[in-house]
């Protein structure tokens, strides 16, 4: 089984056949509504996509960048309870916080939004925050995750101190397949990244957050779920137990998903 915390298929296939991209069997694929792709009335677009996904039984659903809800403080009326997580930014500053490629900090409006989002049972996603905002939010929020990231020097990646703080909080970290964030150019190298993380921090917080459909910068031997599952076999050959691999590929994310918040 597999649980992907971050797949952008609702945006990539907004006007296509949703059912064709929905998760099959026991796999869970988080449908992430990437708001940066919308123009015009973003709130209506988010609601429309949410309704379409709900109609085909898709769950979980998440929102990448709630900047649209800052206008008129719409976040105070928005129903976040329908989503597993949401992020305050994409890569740039918003009225809420500073993005990974920018220099902003968590704002008072951002703190208000966090309280409302968490009261709804929705997690706060740290994936697109810069380091200052990352720690600001971490100190302010209770229920956090990092849905899709890497561990190199890229601004979108986490450094050792950030990882340590998340592990101390038992927060789930989704490893991304994007080469720019992992430096992995093959399934074997992707397994190396997983292995290096586990050797330092264990396997209780690591999950998958592929960013499929959100980037083309993905090694061609892990660019779909059937191929990605082959990474399990690589880990088995390296001596990983089935229990440890299941934690990374399904259980850690599923526990977070099922947790009463």
Which residue do the tokens 């994409």 mark? 90
Closest residue by Cα to residue 167 from 204, 194, 128:
204
Closest residue by Cα to residue 132 from 102, 166, 110, 88:
102
The number of beta carbons lying within 10 Å of the beta carbon of residue 176 is: 32
What SS3 state is found at 181? helix
pTM summary value? 0.96
Q: What are the angstrom distances between the C-alpha of 161 and each of 185, 200, 229, 249? A: 25, 12, 29, 24
Cβ–Cβ under 8 Å, residues 173 and 151: no
- Residue-wise pLDDT tens for the chain (261 aa)? 899 999 999 988 765 565 565 555 578 999 999 999 898 999 999 999 999 899 888 889 999 999 999 999 999 999 999 999 999 999 999 999 999 999 999 999 999 999 999 999 999 999 999 999 999 999 999 999 999 999 999 999 999 999 999 999 999 999 999 999 999 999 999 999 999 999 999 999 999 999 999 999 999 999 999 999 999 999 999 999 999 999 999 999 999 999 976
> Which is it for the CA torsion 9, 144, 127, 103, positive or negative?
positive
Q: Is 186 exposed, middle or buried (0-12, 13-18, 19+ CB in 10 A)?
A: middle
């Amino acid at each position: 089984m597999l649980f992907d915390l971050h797949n952008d298929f609702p945006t990539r296939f907004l006007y296509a056949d949703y059912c064709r991209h929905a998760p099959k069997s026991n796999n869970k694929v988080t449908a992430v509504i990437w708001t940066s792709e919308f123009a015009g009335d973003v709130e209506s677009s988010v609601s429309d996509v949410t309704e379409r996904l709900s109609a085909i039984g898709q769950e979980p659903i998440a929102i990448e960048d709630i900047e649209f809800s800052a206008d008129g403080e719409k976040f105070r009326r928005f129903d976040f309870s329908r989503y597993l997580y949401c992020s305050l930014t994409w890569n740039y500053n918003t009225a809420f916080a500073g993005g990974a490629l920018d220099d902003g900090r968590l704002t008072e409006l951002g703190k208000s939004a966090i309280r409302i989002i968490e009261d709804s049972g929705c997690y706060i996603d740290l994936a697109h925050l810069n380091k200052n905002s990352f720690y600001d939010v971490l100190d302010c929020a209770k229920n956090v995750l990092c849905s899709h990231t890497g561990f190199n020097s890229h601004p979108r990646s986490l450094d050792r101190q950030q990882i340590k703080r998340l592990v101390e909080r038992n927060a789930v970290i989704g490893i991304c397949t994007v080469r720019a964030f992992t430096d992995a150019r093959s399934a074997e190298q992707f397994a190396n990244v997983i292995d290096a993380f586990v050797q330092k921090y264990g396997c209780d917080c690591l999950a998958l957050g592929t960013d499929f459909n959100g980037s083309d910068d993905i090694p061609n031997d892990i660019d779909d779920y059937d191929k990605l599952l082959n990474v399990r076999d690589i880990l088995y050959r390296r001596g990983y137990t089935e229990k440890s691999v299941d934690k990374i590929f399904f259980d850690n994310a599923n526990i977070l998903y099922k947790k009463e918040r």
